[in-house]
């Protein structure tokens, strides 16, 4: 606009200059042609002087206008140079942008673009759009020439993302101008996309690694076979059995890892599972070294989202020893029936129990197959798979623990008592290994959520000290305990897990001496500590002990049955709770493990909360009336055996209807109800005990037993006023809980 004003001003000056020039010429002509008028000489002279003065004034005005015109021309030239410089700088700035730049006018037609934007078109073998091209036509042209391969948009993201023909990803960002135009930037985000893809691949690899860790510890052959009958996944046990001549079976066709005769025997079952049916069957099989084994095979089909079968899961268990055991029992039964009638009856009972266990295992295997199929449909979720496996495995493990605990309280002679103790120790090892694997998986997946409340440390520390004092004595150690009544803010169960892992490590690695459990107050925190007189830890290993599968075993120490996950779990729990964990150690003298917990304040007690109902049993467990409700017959039988050994009067039932057939729940006396949370027919123990207590004048105290470790269930049970115990049940803890419930009239003190 400033340039147009200057041009107009110059035109006006030039017109004025031309007018003055015409006036001057007319005056000169008039003077020169004045003789025709014949003026008086003096008048003519006077008139000429006036004219000369006017000409001089006009000439000066003209010269001044010419000077102004020259100045305006110079200013105009400078303005043009500045405009050209500004335009060039703008072009240079646009060219310096690393992103593709496009400028549209208020009609959304192309005005200008940089070379980076034009290079996209040249890579696609197309000519860049010319100025004046509409934005809609430009996008259609990009799709037609193949410049845009994919287009992605999301309401939460800024701009649209395109995959170009040169396999680069760009993100389009639009910004309006003040004149109603549009500025569009095309940013290259290929590195961001590649990084995101790398993170996803790493997460999948980590998930697969955990699944492999779990499956490699399962004593069964596990594999996944695709629809083309090639093996796409297998665990170490499967690979060891079918890895002919040291070659892995992964990626091979079933026909290549089996003999032709055995493959033909498998074909009917393979065709049946590919038809969508679960298949379970037994085959005798010969190994690479010629050994004969009996295998129980289970095939489970895998369906995709459209319902098509894309493969099937393979679970193979070696039942050779089971068959040999069954055969040996049968032969022993035949030979000893006439000689020892009592022994025959015992063997018959054992055989029936074994058959019942086989049936239970078959049911567990069926649940495992269903759980595994569900996990595959949920994209092989590691956490759900481990939760399902742990729940089903804890059922028979819980029953076995109850039976062994009842046997330990009987007298069978030194040899039999040693065998029972060995079985109990093995069950402890299985429980610890399984619980550790499940806990570390849940912690990694974020399934466990802390329930932070204020509570008194008194009962927590007393129970832990009482629990581990017997373990220390059994190991030839002395466990000293300094009680504390401090109130802290934490999750009581997770904090107890940290202390138990500290004490387990201390007992495991301390050969002789003593262990100390106690607290130290520090302003607004409490330092819970476990001291030991063990061999100590080298200073350069102090950071490694909290890593997964890391165990620091002193030279000459016995082999450790653990997985090296105890302190790794401590590290994850402490990070979740925000509690600082420290360790200091002196080689040859011992170690001290500490966890720092903030102090808390108990909420005021509700009026009447200390009023306790008089218990119906006055002397410990003697004669306590206990009802056991569990859908597993073996657990009912084991619990009855254990409780009767504690001088309890026990009634067992698999459901409410079964209990009603034996007694009247509304009127029959009872001191405690032990109920499993998961019952048959979608029934829960919570609903059953609620129905029973609704009918009774005085509600009976309840202990709810479950393999579900979720915080939601814990809060639900706590809100109902019941006691929650997780499977497998520890007999010592169960007995302590029952004693407390009976003595306190059905309440567990906080």
Among the listed residues 369, 292, 358, 286, the one whose alpha carbon sits nearest the alpha carbon of residue 322: 358
Q: How many angstroms separate the first and last alpha carbons of the chain?
A: 85
User: β-strands 182-188, 478-481: how paired?
Assistant: unpaired
- Spatial separation of the C-alpha atoms in residues 656 and 658, rounded to whole Å: 5
**Contact criterion met (CB below 8 Å) for 388 and 213:** no
Judge if the upstream peptide bond of residue 728 is cis by omega within 30 degrees of 0: yes
Using the structure block, give the residue that is written with the tokens 């906080």. Answer: 750
Count the neighbouring beta carbons within 10 Å of the beta carbon of residue 636. 23
- For 626, the token pair is 């206990």
Q: Each residue of 170-208: b (16+ CB within 10 Å) or e?
A: bbbeeeeeeeebbebbbbbbeeeeeeeeeeeeeeeeebe
Contact 514, 533 (CB under 8 A): yes
Instruction: Give the separation between CA 663 and CA 671, rounded to whole angstroms.
Output: 15
- DSSP E strands: which ranges in 510-564? 514-522, 525-532
Query: Within its chain, how far is the Cα of 226 from the centroid?
Result: 27
Q: What is the pLDDT of residue 372?
A: 65
CA nearest to 345, candidates 356, 353, 337? 337
641: tokens are 């055996």
Distance CA 221, CA 209 (A): 17
- The DSSP secondary-structure symbol of 450 reads -
Place of tokens 């107009």: 8
Count the residues in the chain: 750
Ordered DSSP codes for 459-509: HHHHHHHHHHHHHHHHTT-EEEE-----EEEE-HHHHHHHHHHHHHHHHHH
> Within 13 Å of residue 466, how many CA atoms lie on the same side as its CB?
10
Q: What is the pLDDT of residue 614?
A: 39
pLDDT for res 653: 92
Give the residue carrying structure tokens 């049946």.
272
Q: Cα dihedral angle (77, 80, 85, 90), rounded to 10 degrees?
A: 170
Kindly write down the DSSP assignment for every residue of 627-682, as one continuous string.
Answer: EEE-S-HHHHHHHHHHHHHTT-EEEEESSHHHHHHHS-TTTS--SEEEEESB-STT
Structure tokens of 200? 């996803």
Collapsed DSSP state (helix, strand, coil) of residue 567? helix
Question: 301 with 309: CB under 8 angstroms?
Answer: yes
Question: 528: closest CA among 566, 490, 576?
Answer: 490
With CA atoms as reference, report the closest residue to 188 among 156, 163, 158, 152: 163
> What is the structure's pLDDT at 539?
73
CA distance 622 to 23: 141
| Secondary structure in 3-state letters for 239-291 | HHHHCHHHCCCCCCEHHHHCCHHHHHHHHHHHHHHHCCCCEEEEEEEECCCCC
pLDDT value, residue 279: 92
CB within 8 Å of 216: residues ≥ 6 apart: 235, 236, 237
Whether the full predicted model's pTM is greater than 0.85, yes or no, is: no
Return the exposure string of 109-133: e unless at least 16 CB atoms fall within 10 Å of the residue's CB, then b: bbeebbebbeebbeebebebbeeeb
**Angle made by CA atoms 67, 72, 73, in degrees to the nearest 5:** 95
For 134, residues 6+ apart whose C-beta sits below 8 A from its C-beta are: 107, 108, 109, 110
User: What are the per-10-residue average pLDDT scores of the chain (750 residues)?
Assistant: 66 80 73 54 68 76 77 76 74 76 87 83 84 87 84 73 84 85 84 79 72 75 91 86 81 88 91 92 82 88 88 89 81 72 74 83 80 59 53 61 64 63 61 60 64 87 85 85 88 86 84 88 90 81 63 52 65 85 84 90 61 40 87 84 86 90 90 89 89 90 83 84 82 83 58
């Amino acid at each position: 606009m400033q340039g147009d004003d200057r041009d107009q001003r110059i035109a006006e000056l030039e017109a004025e200059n031309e007018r003055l020039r015409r006036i001057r010429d007319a005056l000169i002509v008039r003077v020169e042609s004045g003789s025709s008028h014949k003026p008086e000489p003096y008048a003519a002279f006077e008139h000429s002087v006036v004219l000369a003065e006017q000409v001089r004034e006009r000439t000066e005005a003209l010269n001044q206008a010419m000077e102004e015109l020259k100045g305006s021309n110079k200013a105009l030239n400078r303005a043009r140079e500045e405009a050209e410089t500004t335009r060039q700088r703008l072009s240079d700035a646009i060219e310096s942008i690393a992103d593709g730049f496009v400028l549209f006018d208020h009609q959304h037609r192309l005005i200008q673009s940089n070379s980076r934007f034009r290079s996209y078109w040249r890579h696609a073998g197309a000519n860049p759009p010319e100025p004046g091209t509409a934005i809609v036509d430009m996008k259609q042209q990009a799709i037609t020439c193949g410049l845009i391969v994919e287009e992605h948009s999301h309401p939460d993201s800024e701009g649209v993302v395109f995959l170009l023909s040169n396999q680069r990803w760009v993100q389009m960002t639009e910004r309006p101008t003040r004149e109603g135009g549009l500025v569009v930037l095309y940013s290259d985000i290929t590195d961001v996309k590649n990084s995101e893809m790398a993170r996803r691949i790493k997460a999948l690899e980590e998930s697969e690694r955990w699944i492999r860790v779990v499956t490699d510890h399962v004593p069964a052959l596990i594999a996944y076979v695709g629809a083309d009958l090639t093996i796409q996944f297998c665990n170490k046990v499967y690979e060891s059995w079918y890895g002919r001549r040291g070659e892995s079976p992964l990626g091979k066709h079933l026909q290549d890892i089996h003999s032709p005769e055995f493959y033909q025997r498998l074909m009917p079952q393979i065709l049946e599972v590919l038809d969508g049916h679960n298949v379970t069957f037994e085959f005798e099989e010969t190994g690479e070294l010629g050994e004969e084994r009996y295998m129980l095979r289970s095939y489970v089909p895998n369906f995709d989202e459209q319902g098509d079968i894309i493969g099937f899961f393979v679970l193979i268990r070696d039942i050779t020893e089971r068959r040999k055991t069954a055969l040996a029992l049968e032969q022993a039964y035949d030979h000893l029936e006439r000689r020892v009638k009592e022994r025959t009856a015992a063997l018959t009972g054992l055989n029936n129990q074994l058959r019942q266990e086989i049936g239970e295992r078959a049911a567990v295997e069926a649940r495992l197959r269903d759980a595994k199929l569900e996990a595959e449909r949920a994209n092989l979720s590691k956490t759900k798979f481990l939760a399902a496996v742990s729940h089903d495995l804890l059922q028979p493990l819980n029953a076995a623990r109850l039976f062994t605990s009842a046997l330990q309280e009987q007298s069978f002679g030194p040899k039999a008592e040693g065998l029972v103790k060995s079985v109990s120790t093995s069950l402890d090892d299985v429980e610890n290994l399984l619980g550790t694997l499940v806990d570390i998986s849940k912690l990694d997946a974020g399934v466990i959520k802390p329930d932070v409340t204020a509570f008194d440390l008194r009962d927590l520390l007393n129970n832990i000290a009482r629990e581990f004092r017997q373990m220390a004595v059994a190991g030839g150690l002395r466990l000293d305990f300094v009680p504390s009544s401090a109130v802290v803010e934490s999750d009581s169960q997770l904090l107890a897990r940290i202390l138990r892992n500290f004490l387990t490590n201390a007992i495991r690695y301390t050969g002789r001496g003593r262990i100390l459990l106690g607290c130290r107050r520090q302003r607004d925190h409490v330092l819970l500590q476990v001291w030991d007189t063990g061999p100590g830890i080298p200073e350069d290993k102090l950071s490694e002990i909290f890593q997964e599968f890391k165990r620091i075993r002193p030279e000459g120490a016995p082999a450790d049955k653990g997985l090296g996950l105890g302190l790794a779990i401590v590290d994850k729990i402490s990070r979740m709770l925000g509690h600082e964990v420290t360790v200091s150690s002196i080689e040859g003298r011992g170690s001290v493990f500490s966890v720092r917990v903030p102090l808390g304040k108990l909420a005021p007690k509700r009026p009447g909360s200390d009023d306790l109902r008089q218990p119906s049993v006055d002397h410990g467990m003697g004669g306590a009336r206990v009802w056991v409700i569990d859908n597993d017959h073996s657990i009912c039988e084991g619990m009855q055996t254990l409780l009767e050994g504690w001088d309890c009067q026990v009634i067992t039932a698999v459901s409410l209807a079964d209990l009603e057939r034996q007694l009247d729940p509304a009127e029959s006396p009872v001191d405690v109800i032990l109920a499993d949370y998961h019952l048959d027919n979608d029934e829960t123990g919570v609903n059953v005990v609620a129905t029973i207590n609704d009918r009774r004048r005085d509600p009976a105290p309840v202990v709810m037993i479950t393999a579900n470790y979720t915080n939601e269930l814990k809060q639900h049970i706590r809100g109902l006023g019941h006691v929650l115990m997780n499977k497998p049940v520890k007999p010592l803890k169960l007995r302590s809980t029952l004693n407390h419930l009976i003595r306190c009239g059905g309440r567990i003190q906080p």
